[in-house]
Amino acid sequence: MIDNEKLIPGVRFNEFGEAQVVVWAPELEEIALLLENTQEQRPLKKQEMGYWLLRTDALKPGDLYQFVVKDKPQPDPASLWQPQGVHGPSAAYDVRNFKWTDKDLPQLALKDYIIYELHTGTFTEEGTFAAMESKLDYLVELGINAIEIMPVSQFAGARNWGYDGVLPYCVQDSYGGPEALQHLVNACHKKGIAVILDVVYNHIGPEGNVLPQYGPYFTDKYNTPWGDALNFDSPWCDGVREYFVENVLMWFRDFHIDALRMDAVHAIKDMSPVHILQEMRTHVDELAQQTGKSHYLIVEMDLNDTRYIKPIANGGYGMDGQWIDEFHHALRVSSGQQRSGYYSDFEPITSLAKSYKDAYVYDGGFSEHRKRKFGVKADGHSGEQFVVFSQNHDHVGNRMLGERTSQLVSFEMQKLLAGAVFVSPYLPMLFMGEEYSESNPFQYFVSHTDPELAEAVRKGRKREFAAFHLDGEAPDPMSEETFNNSKLQWSLPEEGQHKTMLQFYKELIRLRKSQPALTSNDREALEVEPNTVNETITLRRWTSEQQIVAVLNFSKTVREMWLPEQGSGWKKLIASSDQVWNGLGNVTDPPADRLIMLPPESFAIFTDSVF
Give catalytic residues, as residue numbers. 263, 300
User: What is the β-pairing status of strands 526-531 and 427-431?
Assistant: unpaired
Closest by Cα among 504, 498, 492 to 581: 504
- In terms of Cβ atoms closer than 10 Å to its own Cβ (0-12, 13-18, 19+), residue 476 is middle
State the Cα angle at 252 between 248 and 254, rounded to 5°.
Answer: 105
Measured CA to CA, the distance from residue 211 to residue 285 in angstroms comes to 28
Phi, psi values for residue 558, rounded to 5°:
-60, 135
| Torsion over CA: 56, 58, 63, 64 (sign) | negative
DSSP symbol at 468: T
Which strands, in side-by-side order, build the sheet including 19-24?
A: 10-13, 19-24, 51-56, 45-46
Q: What is the 3 state secondary structure string of 307-318?
A: CCCCCHHHCCCC
| Distance of alpha carbon 405 from alpha carbon 567, whole angstroms | 35
DSSP 472: S
The alpha helices in 375-450, defined as continuous H runs, are 393-397, 411-422
CA distance 146 to 212: 36
Torsion of CA 255, 258, 263, 267, to 10 degrees: 100
Rounded Cα distance between 607 and 573, Å, is: 7
Q: In this structure, are residues 256 and 232 in contact, taking their beta carbons and an 8 Å threshold? A: no
Q: How far is CA 105 from CA 187, 256, 542, in A?
A: 12, 12, 32
Burial of 100 (0-12, 13-18, 19+ CB in 10 A): middle
* Residue 494, burial from CB neighbour count under 10 angstroms (0-12, 13-18, 19+): exposed
Q: What is the secondary structure of 77-138 as a DSSP string?
A: TT-S--TT-TTS-EE---GGGS----TTSPPPPGGG--EEEE-HHHHSSS-SHHHHHTTHHH
Question: Is the CB of residue 337 less than 8 Å from the CB of residue 328?
Answer: no
Report the Cα 300 to chain-centroid distance in Å.
8
Q: What are phi and psi of 522, to 5 degrees?
A: -75, 110
Contact 42/58 with Cβ under 8 angstroms?
A: yes
Close Cβ partners of 60 (under 8 Å, ≥ 6 residues apart) = 17, 19, 92
- Distance, in Å, from the CA atom of 170 to the CA atom of 83, rounded to the nearest integer, reads 10
- The residues near 30 (Cβ < 8 Å, ≥ 6 apart) are 43
